[in-house]
Amino acid sequence: QKEVEQNSGPLSVPEGAIASLNCTYSDRVSQSFFWYRQYSGKSPELIMSIYSNGDKEDGRFTAQLNKASQYVSLLIRDSQPSDSATYLCAVNKIGGTSYGKLTFGQGTILTVHP
């Protein structure tokens, strides 16, 4: 089992729709969770971070964390063509030898078509 798994893509949604990206992780010790967006040929850009169970909203983006189910998701409302990118889920464990180490999922390619 991979440490971090994302829903298989690619995901295609029409402009204005809600895009739902999902991620599961295997290590219950994980404490910090991140969503990065990566455009082709560019570096990952931090979109959302979440540390506590529940929802966290930032503009059109909502991150949801459920530690009991070891599940984190990202919702993008009113999707725009400019949201088309690869979305990376990353998990960080705090303490011991795990500081600063992000474990990434394989990424989900999102395409928003006009």
Residues that bind other proteins (CB under 8 A): 31-32, 34, 36, 42-46, 49, 51, 88, 90, 92, 94, 97-104, 106-107
Which of 79/108 has CB closer to other proteins? 108
Tokens describing residue 91 = 């998990």
Which DSSP helix (H) or strand (E) runs through 50?
A: strand 45-50
As measured in angstroms, the least distance from the Cβ of 16 to other proteins is 30
As measured in angstroms, the least distance from the Cβ of 26 to other proteins is 16
Measuring CA to CA, which residue among 4, 7, 8 is closest to residue 25? 4
Q: Using the 8-state DSSP alphabet, how is residue 7 labeled?
A: -
As measured in angstroms, the least distance from the Cβ of 43 to other proteins is 4
As measured in angstroms, the least distance from the Cβ of 15 to other proteins is 28
Which of 85/107 has CB closer to other proteins? 107
Which of 1/97 has CB closer to other proteins? 97
Q: How far apart are CA 52 and CA 87, in angstroms?
A: 21
Rg from Cα positions in the chain: 14
Phi-psi region of 54 (alpha: psi -120 to 50; beta: other; left: phi over 0): left
Which of 69/99 has CB closer to other proteins? 99
